[in-house]
Structure 1
């Protein structure tokens, strides 16, 4: 449970979403946008897509399920990050036109934010609130939140240094590789929790046996008391 809870919180951040949102003007400037009005418009578009797809996630999360949305989210983010890093690399070497580079950069940044917001963004908090037993839920969820914020700060504070070291395209290539790992993590470690009771969720992690024995014991005790009465 801790591997799942802490892992999904960390992957939510180390795929680079905060770097993408915080430094989107830097990314768009590197793609070739020069005027402040164009930078503002592109940044507003990122915020719009983030908000719109969070609202979509609210509608879909119980209808579609957690894991299918996580698959869509992590795979979509990986594809967007790969295309973004490739476009920035080609732009830096003059292999594509400025207009094409700008269009691809805006579409992939907005696409990455959209895929994040419809899946791993909100779902990591939902899953973290569902998988832990009640007696440990507060402590475990708090530990996950700490992991989330620490990784977020590490990514945000190191992004510009990484860009100077290996270029913006190189930084997003690294994020794309991490995002690809998040697909594997979701497949291997994150169960579907939609519509399941606490006992059923615990059994998904190999537990639940003790809880069933306790229930049977309590039922037997009640029957004995009834007969004695």
Structure 2
């Protein structure tokens, strides 16, 4: 059996969750990276016998728009599909419902879903170091249960219509420490960074924080006052450890 991972993981947390989960399945793994702005996703070949894992992050309780758009170009051809939404210990809200609707429209047969925790991409003080060893063991167990037990489409939580999405104004911009290497612009999933000034366009930036995370000289930042205010708001919600959930 071939395993196909379809992932969108700008800062690596969703990828870590997907890798841990896939260890519970046996088979060759092929990865389709939805963060690649150059790829023609309509050419991605999914066979009916493939075991597919779609792993996407939750941004404010929704799927990032470009991830949905790119996923929608892939033909599922009836392949069995498990959905994983990854969130930073706040809430995943309508993310799984949106993923389910998109996957079904693509022709995937959704048989299970997981809500999993990873370190928050903007506020790393929340869910620090996750997925940890306990998470990885649980995710492998989820994968084995799905392989053995999945038959019918599960009841997946979420609202329709979905909640309104938004970036919250957190758009990383270059500081005076920028050395002009261009890595941020090349690696931006949304191609939102100017290749000369390295400033991010607030209209196209999705606030994924990849540019901030990969900058080798720490020369990108978001508004400190906005970050501090949002962290204070989230602290009561995110302080307690939330656990991964399986919908089967």
Q: Which has the higher helix share?
A: 1
TM-score, normalising length from structure 1? 0.29
Find the structure with the greater CA-based Rg. Answer: 1
TM-score, normalising length from structure 2? 0.28
